[in-house]
Amino acid sequence: MNNFSYTQATAAKEATGRLKDQPQAAYIAGGTTLLDMMKANLTEPPQLVDINLLPFKGIEQTKDGLRIGAMERMNAVGENPLVKSQYPAVSESLLLAASPQLRNMASIGGNILQRTRCGYFRDEAFPCNKRVPGSGCPALTGDNHNLAVLGVSDTCIANAYPGDLSVVLAALDAVLTLENAKGKQRQVPVTEFYLLPGKTPEKENVLEPGELIVAVTIPAAAHAQRSTYLKVRERSSYAYALASAAVGLDVQGGTIRSARVALGGVGAQPWRSREAEKALVGQPATEATFKAAAAAALQGAQPRKENAYKVELAQNTLVRALQQVAGV
């Protein structure tokens, strides 16, 4: 770990100002991703700007939907009664993640920005195009059993976001509020926040230098209230998803009126599948419909030797999640 200075900001302006002065500085909230990476010499910010005192708080129903301050902690949101009753998939995704200790520390903003668990990215001894652009990607022909099959490129097949929450956010049309150094705020849908690797896997999202995540807003909807998050992993707890599905359905009289689908663990980013949604809306809520939707979601998958199983696993996971939500 490198030497670094540490300052605490009490206002957004102060925090963004620090990063304007020192563009290599990093924000620190819960630190559950950043400190791991610093200890492994994967990132070496000369300065940490602590944003834990920023007033980005609150879990409340607004006219636009559920607004969650970026500095709220994962457990607080996951256990919130409003979230549990109106946005169950959000709560489920948070409580299935990490461990209670980590969830008590990790912020919502930090969760959205967590980095890939690709073993080649996490070990500086390996080449990695995401970490050192142009150095190569051993995962293409190596250990890719838990890497992505959708949205990948021949420079990077990492699931850049390995977590759970953003999969649900992508499904439920959540919008991020961002604030830059000038104090100007903008709204970016989660589905447009993450970038596909293409030839620049080092660029993972649309955040401008120094820009902060202030809040995330999830529109209220029937499909949000009737939503679930299903996670498949190699052990029962404290493991990243091999595949996961966030789904929301509005079913009336056996017919699907609206549907929201996103997949985790299998995409280069949280993978919203509008193809699957198209295959669901207007159709009867049956296994046949769900299977057709799952097939549509995995169209275009680019599996490799060790992760080929994910094509089937992701489809089965999605079908199961849809069955659970539809109650069939």
Q: Which residues bind other proteins (CB under 8 A)?
A: 1-3, 41, 117, 119-120, 122-126, 138, 141-143, 145, 232-240, 242, 309, 312-313, 316-317, 319-320
Closest distance to other proteins from the beta carbon of 181 (Å): 31
Beta carbon nearer to other proteins, 3 or 184 = 3
**Beta-sheet pairing, 243-252 with 255-264:** antiparallel
Beta carbon nearer to other proteins, 68 or 301 = 301
Beta carbon nearer to other proteins, 145 or 257 = 145
Closest distance to other proteins from the beta carbon of 128 (Å): 11
Closest distance to other proteins from the beta carbon of 3 (Å): 7
Beta carbon nearer to other proteins, 125 or 288 = 125
Q: Are 197 and 155 a contacting pair, CB within 8 Å? A: yes
User: Which contacts (CB < 8 Å, 24+ apart) does range 88-92 have?
Assistant: 88/225, 88/227, 88/228, 89/168, 89/171, 89/172, 89/224, 89/227, 89/228, 89/229, 89/246, 89/247, 89/248, 90/66, 90/165, 90/168, 90/169, 90/172, 90/218, 90/227, 90/229, 92/168, 92/228, 92/229
Beta carbon nearer to other proteins, 85 or 237 = 237
Closest distance to other proteins from the beta carbon of 19 (Å): 24
Closest distance to other proteins from the beta carbon of 269 (Å): 21
Give per-residue burial for 70-83: e unless 16+ CB within 10 Å, then b. Answer: bbbbbbbbbebeeb
